[in-house]
Chains A and B, each alone.
Chain A
Amino acid sequence: MSAADLAAVLPIVVLAAAAVAVMLAAAIHRSHGLALWMTLASLVLAGASLPLAASEQPRRVATLLTVDGYSLFFTGLILAATFAVAVLSYAYFSRRPGNHEELYLMLLLAALGAVVLTGSRHFASLFLGLEILSASLYVLVAFPRGRRNIEAAVKYLILAAVSAALLLFGMALVYADLASMDFDRIAAASAPAGTGDLLLAAGLVLLFAGLAFKLALVPLHMWTPDVYQGAPPPVAAFIATVSKAAVFALLLRFFHPLAIQSHANLYVAFATVAVASMFAGNFLALLQNDVKRLLAYSSIAQLGYLLVAFLAGGPLAVTAVSFFLVAYTATMLGAFGIVTLMSERREAGSLENYSGLFWRRPWLAAVMAAMMFSLAGIPLTAGFIGKFYVLDAGVGSSLWLLSASLVASSAIGLYYYLRVIVVMYRRPLAAGGHSRTRPPLRPLAGGLVLALVLLIVLWLGVYPGPLIEIIQKTAILN
């Protein structure tokens, strides 16, 4: 391994080393604050190593990993989101009894797995990355070790194991057909095979199913609401953002050169999943009375939108997906951030907890409203530009049915986003009672993260130009 190779994978090395360091530090001296600071420092360090890695890109490291603008862009997104989750976790766990240092260890490992996914170009690294990510998530979901958490974790564990089996079987079929586990060779070999190749088609569908589980696409979405509800809110934020962004980045990298649009059967299968996700997510969200479950169904629908861009294909699709994922990540972090801060003393999942929030804590309510508007895709927010970009890609490729489904289902979705806002602006029942129960915004750091997320969401909504420039320069798939 040359020095250039090392520089290219430096973010991964930093994350792996940091995980070990946090573990050792926890063994010597248990301190929640120390673990947090070490985590944040290592994330910043990994972020600082990105330019160094960028100077070596594009580069293939061994056979397993590739470092290019695309992987580095998503690495940056993952590091930033993990940073926010770490700060929110501190806000959430600092008031709860027990030792919390291992949480940061797991968080770093999960981020490591996610980063490996973005750079993987081989089935082996794909599976390694995915399993590092998943194994850390099982622990993270169960972390506060309450009954609900453990239930959610076990549910996640069992279903994730099934999906891993699907994924492996898919890989095996593809390997049996093309005798390669390398993405480039698969793309090259599958092109002339065309649509008639049943073995390959079955393999690709199973692969897609395995990844679709992680993305919570219909019909593999069942775990999402339970896990989101059972997990601590910062962890749910991590699952909703980092885990999905990394897996989607991988999905796009693998399927993009295969040009699924030209495979009629695959295309119909994927399009059905997209439409079903959009409608099922939005319709089921209408029935929820728990904010975390509502966000879970909302994320199902959002990933359905993203599939529209994925199916559109072409260079516009890559830009649209990248932008949408940034907007989605920021918005989801903001929404779960509110849930985190609301859960200072006890879990604030039920929508009732948010009743009259505007009159008690106007800033929290304002941020939550902005996040809901962003998820609904109202202008001035990042969510609008993201959705617009996806629609642009869909219409540009003449995917009329998918574009129409996107618009129709997001019109339905509007109803439940508004419902959250309406609940927050409901007047408190007992007049004057609200001034008494007005706790100060305790962990200041959590508030700062939210303010930052709000700024990003608004900034991307008003002036997305710079980010689009960055995406078009870096996130390129050929």
Chain B
Amino acid sequence: MYPFQDQIGFPILSVMTFLPTLGGLLMLLFMRGRPTLYKWTALVTTGATFVLSLVMWAYFDRYTADFQFIEKVNWIPRLGTSYHMGVDGISVLLILLTTLLSLIIIPASWNYIKDRELGFFISFLVLETGMLGTFCARDMLLFYFFWEIMLIPMYFIIGIWGGPRRIYAAYKFFLYTLAGSVLMLVAIVAIAWLARPNPFAAPVFDLDQLQNAVFTINVQFFAFLAFFIAFAVKVPMWPVHTWLPDAHVEAPTAGSVILAGVLLKMGGYGILRFCLPLFPDAAVIFIPYILILSLIAIIYGAMVSLVQKDLKKLVAYSSVSHMGFVTAGIFAFNLIGIEGAILVMFSHGILTGALFLLVGFIYERLHTREIASMGGMATPFPIAATLLLFFALASLGLPGLSGFIGEFLSLLGLFTYNKAMAVIGAFGIILAAAYLLWMYLRVMFTGLKDERWHELPDFSLREVSCLAPLMALAVWVGVYPNTFINLIQPSANRLANQMAPYLAEHGNFLSHLFASLGGGS
């Protein structure tokens, strides 16, 4: 039997995952000191990875919730862990986002980095391997492996090529994430031991087997907490979000794009993939607390965005607010909410990625990100103004663009769960309109601040072509979201069905609790 049994008889997931690192290795060994050559190699590598992900999408059977393109070979048999890869609709959607953003950041940082460019591009290629592996892994240890591998290149990207306070930001990023994930490691080992079918068996790390294991409520409680803290730091949820603004402000543009576009999604993905199906009893207990934290994140993130002076920090805090919709949607525990959460993740990846690119491109011209020192930029930079308007509108949830559909579904899910909470959450969208439009007003209109800007070039073809695919995708998701909803539907549905009985069990207790909050359901 082949170690992999999939639609196309070709280990597409492994090839896709390791292709970027292979490209990076070739660049390191053969292309030192030849910038043009290695930049093109990086572009071709990420391009090929993107094409592979499209091929995978084309062959993906979207009528089943089963995992596909399965590859399974022994890795460390004595430890009970195997190299097990596989994807479902949720993974496919996030993989597409990852490969697209990874492709876009290469031309976006074509001329951005002056120092040690080779290391910069290699870091991103290794990072792409880590991200893709995380979305494909079907073995807990393998997952943890890829999860941690992402940290190292990102740490270097912020710490070496970042802004003036890069060392502090890199530290903070690394320590926050790692402190969360070592807790997860203990929980992984613990459940692997507890899930053994008999006392003499090896620990169980395989997700297919873990999914069938039943844990006592005490185990679930602590394991859920350990997993959830790791993921909550990544999302990031209020109050463990404080690493995010620092990391974003100091990171180079491409780093911010990947950080906001993909790395934050790891948190939501982890919750969907592990926290809910493995520990459903505990998840239900935590619903009210997590929903309250999510609402705080939505409102707090938006309000803090309002008062930011730094353009990049504004986008960073808006991420906290948007990601609040993800956790709120997931913990509404119904199909609509979960689908909404996944769509918010996808759309946030596109839009925030684009916004960070825009901020980066503007910074390259003006050498400042301070909103107060901008103004009237619409006259000298009409193309930039148009693009920023488009992505700001999409991000504030204008119907017809991608931001709307996810947050709408997420709120709808929350509404069926609890009306009062949905109403509070909806204020987040209003606040988003406020901070984004006000930002646009101050940056693009209100009188030209500096006459010399007329001599600066508007966005080049390279810069526009980085943003164009994101723009197209934003319209696609906004106008015809069915393409993507159909992709995730079976998996989301399975998850919602799986959770429904647990919710019913605890439903009485919860509705009672919320009735006292004035909501009722």
Binding site for B on A (CB under 8 A): 319, 358-359, 373, 378-380, 384-385, 388-389, 391-392, 395-396, 403-404, 407, 410-411, 414-415, 418, 422, 425-426, 463-465, 468-469, 472
CA distance A392 to B152 in the complex (A): 24
Known interface pairs A391-B186, A403-B186. Does A411 touch B179 (Cβ–Cβ under 8 Å)?
Answer: yes
Most chain A CB neighbours (cut-off 10 Å) among B156, B170, B182: B182
Partner of B167 from the list A384, A396, A426, A465 (CB cut-off 8 Å) is A426
Q: Which B residue's beta carbon lies closest to that of A396?
A: B193
Partner of A465 from the list B78, B145, B189 (CB cut-off 8 Å) is B78
Partner of A391 from the list B149, B174, B179, B189 (CB cut-off 8 Å) is B189
Q: Which A residue's beta carbon lies closest to that of B203?
A: A392
Q: Is the CB of B152 within 8 A of A415?
A: no
Q: Is the CB of B186 within 8 A of A422?
A: no
Question: Would you give the shortest CB distance from A415 to chain B, in whole angstroms?
Answer: 7
Q: List 14 A-B contacts (CB under 8 A).
A: A373-B152, A379-B149, A384-B148, A385-B76, A388-B79, A388-B189, A395-B186, A395-B189, A404-B186, A411-B175, A411-B178, A418-B175, A465-B75, A469-B78
Q: Is the CB of B151 within 8 A of A407?
A: no
CA distance A373 to B159 in the complex (A): 15
Q: Which A residue's beta carbon lies closest to that of B80?
A: A392
Q: Is the CB of A407 within 8 A of B171?
A: no
Question: Would you give the shortest CB distance from B185 to chain A, in whole angstroms?
Answer: 7
Question: Would you give the shortest CB distance from A271 to chain B, in whole angstroms?
Answer: 17
CA distance A392 to B191 in the complex (A): 11
Task: Assess whether B437 is interfacial by the CB under 8 Å rule.
Answer: no
Partner of B156 from the list A395, A396, A425, A465 (CB cut-off 8 Å) is A425
**With A385-B76, A392-B203 given, can you name 11 additional A-B contacts, CB distance below 8 Å?**
A319-B78, A396-B193, A403-B189, A407-B185, A407-B186, A411-B178, A411-B179, A414-B175, A422-B171, A426-B167, A469-B78
Neighbouring A residues of B79 by C-beta, 8 Å: 388-389, 392, 468
Partner of A378 from the list B116, B152, B186 (CB cut-off 8 Å) is B152
Q: Is the CB of A422 within 8 A of B159?
A: yes
Task: Assess whether B160 is interfacial by the CB under 8 Å rule.
Answer: yes
Neighbouring A residues of B75 by C-beta, 8 Å: 463, 465
Cβ proximity bits B168-195 to A, threshold 8 Å, 1 near / 0 not: 0011001100110011011001100100
CA distance A407 to B222 in the complex (A): 15
Specify the main secondary structure of chain B where it touches its partner: helix
Top 3 nearest A-B pairs (CB, nearest first) are: A379-B148, A379-B145, A395-B189
Q: Is the CB of A425 within 8 A of B77?
A: no
Q: Is the CB of A465 within 8 A of B179?
A: no
Neighbouring B residues of A385 by C-beta, 8 Å: 76
Q: Is the CB of B178 within 8 A of A414?
A: yes
Known interface pairs A395-B190, A396-B203, A407-B186. Does A422 touch B170 (Cβ–Cβ under 8 Å)?
Answer: yes
Task: Assess whether B7 is interfacial by the CB under 8 Å rule.
Answer: no
CA distance A285 to B294 in the complex (A): 38
CA distance A373 to B144 in the complex (A): 15
Neighbouring A residues of B145 by C-beta, 8 Å: 379-380
Q: Is the CB of B174 within 8 A of A414?
A: yes
Question: Would you give the shortest CB distance from A451 to chain B, in whole angstroms?
Answer: 14
Partner of B74 from the list A418, A422, A465 (CB cut-off 8 Å) is A465
Neighbouring B residues of A359 by C-beta, 8 Å: 116
| B interface residue count range (under 10 / 10 to 19 / 20 to 34 / 35 or more) | 20 to 34
Neighbouring B residues of A388 by C-beta, 8 Å: 79, 141, 185, 189
Q: Is the CB of B167 within 8 A of A422?
A: yes
CA distance A80 to B56 in the complex (A): 47
Cβ proximity bits B243-272 to A, threshold 8 Å, 1 near / 0 not: 000000000000000000000000000000
Specify the main secondary structure of chain A where it touches its partner: helix
Q: Which B residue's beta carbon lies closest to that of A415?
A: B175
Q: Which A residue's beta carbon lies closest to that of B196?
A: A396
CA distance A395 to B175 in the complex (A): 24
CA distance A399 to B122 in the complex (A): 41
Q: Which B residue's beta carbon lies closest to that of A378?
A: B148
Q: Is the CB of A468 within 8 A of B171?
A: no
Q: Which B residue's beta carbon lies closest to that of A469?
A: B78
CA distance A472 to B202 in the complex (A): 14
Neighbouring A residues of B167 by C-beta, 8 Å: 422, 426
CA distance A228 to B189 in the complex (A): 35
Known interface pairs A378-B152, A414-B178. Does A472 touch B78 (Cβ–Cβ under 8 Å)?
Answer: yes
CA distance A73 to B31 in the complex (A): 42
CA distance A425 to B185 in the complex (A): 28
Neighbouring B residues of A407 by C-beta, 8 Å: 182-183, 185-186
Neighbouring A residues of B149 by C-beta, 8 Å: 379-380
Interface residues of B in 67-91 (CB under 8 A from A): 74-79
CA distance A388 to B186 in the complex (A): 9
Question: Would you give the shortest CB distance from A138 to chain B, in whole angstroms?
Answer: 39
CA distance A418 to B149 in the complex (A): 15
Q: Is the CB of B76 within 8 A of A464?
A: yes
CA distance A405 to B159 in the complex (A): 29
CA distance A384 to B148 in the complex (A): 10
Q: Is the CB of B159 within 8 A of A425?
A: yes
Neighbouring A residues of B141 by C-beta, 8 Å: 388
Neighbouring A residues of B156 by C-beta, 8 Å: 425
Most chain B CB neighbours (cut-off 10 Å) among A379, A403, A463: A379
Q: Which B residue's beta carbon lies closest to that of A397?
A: B193
Neighbouring B residues of A472 by C-beta, 8 Å: 78
Known interface pairs A378-B151, A410-B182, A465-B78. Does A425 touch B160 (Cβ–Cβ under 8 Å)?
Answer: yes
Question: Would you give the shortest CB distance from A214 to chain B, in whole angstroms?
Answer: 29
CA distance A464 to B183 in the complex (A): 23
Neighbouring B residues of A392 by C-beta, 8 Å: 79, 189, 193, 203
Interface residues of B in 183-233 (CB under 8 A from A): 183, 185-186, 189-190, 193, 203
Most chain A CB neighbours (cut-off 10 Å) among B77, B145, B183: B145
Neighbouring A residues of B183 by C-beta, 8 Å: 407
CA distance A407 to B193 in the complex (A): 17
Neighbouring A residues of B78 by C-beta, 8 Å: 319, 465, 468-469, 472
CA distance A468 to B75 in the complex (A): 11
Neighbouring B residues of A468 by C-beta, 8 Å: 76, 78-79
Interface residues of B in 28-78 (CB under 8 A from A): 74-78
Q: Is the CB of A411 within 8 A of B182?
A: yes
Neighbouring B residues of A378 by C-beta, 8 Å: 148, 151-152
Interface residues of B in 401-418 (CB under 8 A from A): none
CA distance A388 to B203 in the complex (A): 12
Neighbouring A residues of B182 by C-beta, 8 Å: 407, 410-411
Most chain A CB neighbours (cut-off 10 Å) among B75, B77, B175, B178: B178
CA distance A59 to B78 in the complex (A): 28
CA distance A465 to B73 in the complex (A): 12
Neighbouring A residues of B159 by C-beta, 8 Å: 422, 425
Most chain B CB neighbours (cut-off 10 Å) among A426, A465, A472: A465
Question: Would you give the shortest CB distance from B193 to chain A, in whole angstroms?
Answer: 5
Q: Which B residue's beta carbon lies closest to that of A410?
A: B182
Q: Which B residue's beta carbon lies closest to that of A394?
A: B189
CA distance A422 to B151 in the complex (A): 14
Question: Would you give the shortest CB distance from B154 to chain A, in whole angstroms?
Answer: 13
Question: Would you give the shortest CB distance from B363 to chain A, in whole angstroms?
Answer: 20
Neighbouring A residues of B148 by C-beta, 8 Å: 378-380, 384
Question: Would you give the shortest CB distance from A408 to chain B, in whole angstroms?
Answer: 8
Interface residues of B in 113-169 (CB under 8 A from A): 116, 141, 144-145, 148-149, 151-152, 155-156, 159-160, 167
CA distance A407 to B182 in the complex (A): 6
CA distance A384 to B151 in the complex (A): 14
CA distance A472 to B148 in the complex (A): 28
Most chain B CB neighbours (cut-off 10 Å) among A391, A395, A411: A395
Q: Is the CB of A465 within 8 A of B171?
A: no
